[in-house]
Amino acid sequence: MISPAEDLLAGSSISADLVVVGTGVAGLSAALRARELGLRVVVVTKAAIDDGNTRWAQGGVAVVLPGTGDSVAAHIRDTMVAGAGLCDEIAVREILAAGPAAVAALRERGAVFDAGPDGAPELTREGGHTALRIIHSGGDATGAEVQRALAATAAGIPVLERTVVTEVLRDDAGAVAGIALLGADGESAVLPARAVLLATGGLGQLYTATTNPEVATGDGLALALRAGAAASDLEFVQFHPTVLHGGPGSRGRRPLVTEAVRGEGAVLLDVNGAPVTTGVHPLGDLAPRDVVAAAITRRMAATATDHVLLDATGISGFARRFPTVWAACAAAGIDPATDPIPVTPAAHYHCGGVRTDTSGRTTVPGLYAAGEVARTGLHGANRLASNSLLEGLVVGTAAATAVARDQAVTSPPGPPRALATSQPALDRDDLQRAMSAHAGIGRDTAGLESAAALVAGAPQRHIRGVADAEDAALTVVAAALLCAATARTETRGCHVRTDHQGSAKRWRRSSTVVLDAAGRPVLDEPATAVVA
Ligand code: SIN
């Protein structure tokens, strides 16, 4: 299945109907559907096929299964409430209604979910859900099982591993004409393609501490912005309330302590043993994620500490039910059966992204996006837990169908325009510190402007390899996020402004950002429509 870039591209006139960038749930779902539709599809990933965000997802897939007493209407309502007024109701209805069929298809592809003695999938609960509706696998290793099943089914689809896309190329009319890429040894190539689907995941590496793997550097969002696409809701970065606290100043990817641990009875206490969310929200510790993360942040400030405690000692069989969390705790010398788990919020999920319809179409002809990199309108200002694997499955599949339909009624692109040779790129450490200090939970104008000034002064860098491409991606993505966050002078969902507390009616709408001719982010109002 794996074809090194040089073998696939060497001296050949290969071209693709569709290049899929990324190998998570959305990318592989799209590639599989594209193959079914007879499209020539090539998948590109800068890492290995299993290295994306998907495999780290613990909690599960939120889906309404028949015979559970739950309803899609309730799932829609919970999603809209969590989204704090910014969900696109049509997108929410469409994506969630497609959930049961998407999960059935995934099971047909071999994904196995945990089942009770009667053979029916076990259901759990996470923040913001008013019903038990989350199916899981391997206890708390759902993403890994989804990834395994999709990757196994994708055997035979050409995958360029360790290959970074540096630019989405367009023709003189602005339509997608292919990609520019760099192979593992820095060799450059151009792959002509009629369509490109970005499925690159999120941007957690913008922050010093994140649940995201090292590859989550905002690549797809950066490629889309540079290709002229519009992006929406960029200011909404969801912080997961509970990652394992690694001690003062701990950095990089932090082990997640899935919300399902609270769903099954664990409680949040501060370092003095007082409950954290009492009186904050009717759902208490299972309030939507933005509410819990903000409550923890306030309590850490009030108790002058950098963590709170998650008491899971009342859960019997913890190691069996949550083997991934248990192993991370054990490695840190904590036994969740007897010890409270020290936890703290960390960057987890980008609710905004490349503006798309529910079939992944962006504002650029031939460019599609699906999964975390995209903003369909499902998540609004705060994603409901475990809605993202479902979105990746549904929209990834729909995007490939859209590509086939669009290509049936459009002409192939002309030759690609010249490539950019350098990009602004900041030192990653400087950028992460600035974003964590000023664009995390609790933002104000002065902080946002100081971070934006740092980013605006980024020096040009020649893109010679993956690290350069990633730093350049993080830099442009930070600039766009800061632009949206500065403009939104209110607090809503995961965008918490200390200088504008409370939500404002006039802000009950999405913001949209594009790059101007000089590559600077500007607000684009009203939101640009997506095109085929
Ligand atoms: C979790 O298991 O708490 C995370 C799941 C998600 O982010 O949807």
Position in ligand 1 atom list of the atom nearest CA 127: 3
Location of each CATH 3.90.700.10 domain in the chain:
241-346
- Give percent of the chain with pLDDT exceeding 90: 88
State the amino acid at position 328 in one-letter form. A
Asked whether the predicted pLDDT for residue 391 surpasses 60, the reply is yes
Whole-number average pLDDT of the chain? 93
The per-residue pLDDT for range 236-293, each reduced to its tens digit, is 999 999 999 988 878 899 999 999 999 999 999 999 999 999 999 999 999 999 999 9
Asked whether the predicted pLDDT for residue 527 surpasses 80, the reply is no
Is 289 annotated as catalytic? Answer: yes
Is the CATH code 3.10.20.740 the one for domain 5-200+351-407? no
Q: Whose CA is nearest to atom 2 of ligand 1?
A: 59
Q: Whose CA is nearest to atom 8 of ligand 1?
A: 386
The per-residue pLDDT for range 147-183, each reduced to its tens digit, is 999 999 999 999 999 999 999 999 999 999 999 999 9
Location of each CATH 3.50.50.60 domain in the chain:
5-200+351-407
CB crowding 93-126: b at 16 or more within 10 Å, else e: bbbbebbeebbebbeebebebbeeeeeebbbbbb
HSE-CB for 126 with a 13 A CA cutoff: 28
Q: Of 33, 162, 226, 289, which residue is the catalytic one?
A: 289
Pocket test for ligand 1, best of 75, 79, 256, 383 (most atoms within 8 A of CB): 256
State the amino acid at position 195 in one-letter form. A
Confidence tier at 109 by pLDDT (50, 70, 90): very high
Pocket test for ligand 1, best of 58, 242, 384 (most atoms within 8 A of CB): 58
Q: Measured in whole angstroms, how far is the alpha carbon of residue 459 from the centre of its chain?
A: 28
Asked whether the predicted pLDDT for residue 1 surpasses 80, the reply is no
Check residue 4 and give its pLDDT. 42
Position in ligand 1 atom list of the atom nearest CA 238: 7
Confidence tier at 532 by pLDDT (50, 70, 90): very low
- Tell me which residue of 188, 178, 183, 215 sits closest to 199, measured CA to CA: 215
CA of 227 to the centre of ligand 1 (A): 31
Of 184-193, 364-373, 398-407, the poorest mean pLDDT is in 184-193
Position in ligand 1 atom list of the atom nearest CA 348: 7
Check residue 184 and give its pLDDT. 84
Q: Quick one: average pLDDT of 428-451?
A: 97
Bigger pLDDT: 2 or 387? 387
Check residue 530 and give its pLDDT. 58
- Whether 491 and 502 have beta carbons less than 8 Å apart is answered as yes
Position in ligand 1 atom list of the atom nearest CA 389: 8
CA distances from 227 to 167, 266, 269, 463 (A): 8, 46, 47, 17
Q: Domain spanning 241-346: which CATH class is it, in words?
A: alpha beta
CA distances from 433 to 143, 205, 206, 305, 427 (A): 29, 11, 9, 19, 10
pTM, 2 dp: 0.94
Pocket test for ligand 1, best of 125, 240, 257, 322 (most atoms within 8 A of CB): 240
CA of 114 to the centre of ligand 1 (A): 17
Position in ligand 1 atom list of the atom nearest CA 58: 2
Ligand 1, CB cutoff 6 Å, lining residues = 57-59, 126, 258-260, 349, 385-386, 388
Asked whether the predicted pLDDT for residue 12 surpasses 60, the reply is no
Q: Quick one: average pLDDT of 414-424?
A: 87
The per-residue pLDDT for range 46-76, each reduced to its tens digit, is 998 877 777 877 889 999 998 899 999 999 9
CA of 338 to the centre of ligand 1 (A): 24
CA of 259 to the centre of ligand 1 (A): 6
CA of 365 to the centre of ligand 1 (A): 33
Whether omega before 192 lies within 30 degrees of 0, making that bond cis, reads no
Asked whether the predicted pLDDT for residue 379 surpasses 80, the reply is yes
Rg (CA), the chain: 22
CA of 270 to the centre of ligand 1 (A): 22
Check residue 186 and give its pLDDT. 86
CA of 386 to the centre of ligand 1 (A): 5
- Tell me which residue of 393, 398, 392, 311 sits closest to 349, measured CA to CA: 392
Position in ligand 1 atom list of the atom nearest CA 385: 8
